[in-house]
Amino acid sequence: MGRASKDKRDIFYRKAKAEGYRARSAYKLLQMHETLNILDPAEIRTGAVDLCAAPGSWSQVLAHHFKSVRTAATAAAESAVPAPRVVAVDLQEMAPIDGVSIVQGDITSEATATEIIRVLNAPEPGAAGSCSRREDGDEQDGDSAQPPPPPPPPEPRKADIVLCDGAPDVTGMHELDEYLQHHLLLAALHITVFVLRPGGSFVAKMFRGPNTPFLIAKSELFFHQVRVVKPTSSRNASMESFIVCQDFRLPPGYVPRFTAGEQDVGHRDAEVGVPSRASSFTPAAPSYAYDTAACPSQDAAASPRTACVLASAVLQPFMACGDLSGLDADFCYDREAGADVLAPVQPPLQAPYLVAAAAGAAGAAVAGTGVLEEALAKKARVEPTGARGSDGGSGGA
């Protein structure tokens, strides 16, 4: 699709380029903040973590928002106020963003979680290191003065909010796309329990489907309030929505870890007599929580109070974020006459089409590296020769 036709089809795509955002998804975060105030400066002091951040539009929104908050706070306090950190994490290489620390790593790796904590607690650039040194003017005799014991190291600061707008490459098979997206969301939730402070928030993209109640139930184990929202900048034809989780707390007795212990895999609990969980990520839950037909007891099932509690645990609010009378993501807006077609704010650094361009310009050189063969094989898998007729149609009289 050409730039001019896409500008006409998608008003948020055109608006994002005009305002300097790398992707139209920036307005989804802005609309969620407008409705739910998820970026409240009173709640965000340490920083935010943007998982699956490429190309970086959400990181741009965070950096701009924190910078404006810092400017206002500095003017009110008449002294420099440090801005919250923004840490962008992605498996791919990202172009630098002003005010954003970029971590290239896998969100399923413990090393990535450790690096996020390190970046959040790193000293400000140019800040003088603090040191304590005892300088006594009077001399003291021998062993009469014992040096005080060193203070215990402070607990590392953790993020106030974790966001994830990542999605797998869409295959066109909706069930598979939903399955992969749900596993990506669970991976984001898993690393969140390591890097998020108590009381923090978590926002992630999800595809609504049959497994949506499972994701909500999983999130409610760690967050007091869970809502599913859809910004107006998200197309109505898309099953995309966002799960907004607030007031984080670890379940009693739960110890986060990336690797499951030997006792957690393939063994049975002799006292309880039930299979142990295959992953330590899932805290213990009542057996009836996963069976809609079961309940602790028949008397409890007949109780109106129990019925209300179970209903409130299943039914979650689905909210619209943004001005419903504003711009429509599914509407085609004409461009102004003579308006220039804007170039993308930040072209991708590792775009797949670069392989094809390199193959066309220097096919012999690329063929020697095997990249051309791989690209042609991928094209053959996606576009089988037998499926295309000579007239370019789908066949038939």
Furthest-apart CA atoms within the chain: distance in Å: 108
Residue 118 amino acid letter: R
- What tokens appear for 199 in the block? 């009381």
- Distance of CA 51 to CAs 106, 114, 201, Å? 10, 14, 13
Does residue 391 have a known ligand-binding role?
A: no
Contact 265, 282 (CB under 8 A): no
Does residue 209 have a known ligand-binding role?
A: no
- The tens digit of pLDDT for each residue in 301-328 reads 455 555 555 445 556 666 677 776 667 6
Does residue 58 have a known ligand-binding role?
A: yes
pTM of the model: 0.69
Residue 29 amino acid letter: L
Burial group, residue 286, by CB count within 10 angstroms (0-12, 13-18, 19+): exposed
Superfamily for the 3-121+155-248 domain: Vaccinia Virus protein VP39 (3.40.50.150)
Please give the pLDDT value at position 302: 53
Rounded distance between C-alpha atoms, residue 202 and residue 257, angstroms:
19
CB atoms within 10 A of CB 322: 21
Half-sphere exposure of residue 103: CA atoms within 13 angstroms, side-chain side: 24
Residue 252 amino acid letter: P
Q: Is 204 helix (H, G, I), strand (E, B) or coil?
A: strand
What are the residues facing 48 on neighbouring strands? 86, 161
| Domain residue spans of the chain | 3-121+155-248, 353-387
Q: Is 311 helix (H, G, I), strand (E, B) or coil?
A: helix
- Sheet containing strand 85-90, edge to edge, reads 101-104, 85-90, 47-51, 159-164, 196-207, 240-248, 223-231, 318-321
- What tokens appear for 355 in the block? 């392989």
The catalytic residue among 205, 218, 230, 379 is 205
State the sign of the Cα–Cα–Cα–Cα dihedral 229, 234, 237, 243.
negative
Tens-of-pLDDT digits for all 397 residues of the chain? 445 555 556 888 888 888 999 999 999 999 999 999 999 988 998 999 999 999 999 999 999 999 988 888 777 776 676 789 999 999 989 999 999 999 999 999 999 999 999 999 988 765 444 333 344 444 445 455 677 777 766 788 999 999 999 998 888 888 888 889 999 999 999 999 999 999 999 999 999 888 888 899 999 999 999 999 999 999 888 889 999 999 999 998 888 888 754 444 333 333 344 333 334 454 444 333 334 444 444 455 455 555 555 445 556 666 677 776 667 666 677 666 666 667 777 777 766 666 677 776 655 454 455 555 665 665 555 444 444 444 444 444 4
The string over 105-130, giving b where at least 16 C-beta atoms fall within 10 Å of a residue's C-beta and e elsewhere, is bebbeeebbebbbebbeeeeeeeeee
Rounded distance between C-alpha atoms, residue 106 and residue 112, angstroms:
6
Active site (annotated) includes residue 378: no
Please give the pLDDT value at position 82: 77
Does residue 334 have a known ligand-binding role?
A: no
Residue 88 amino acid letter: A
Does residue 56 have a known ligand-binding role?
A: yes
Please give the pLDDT value at position 64: 94
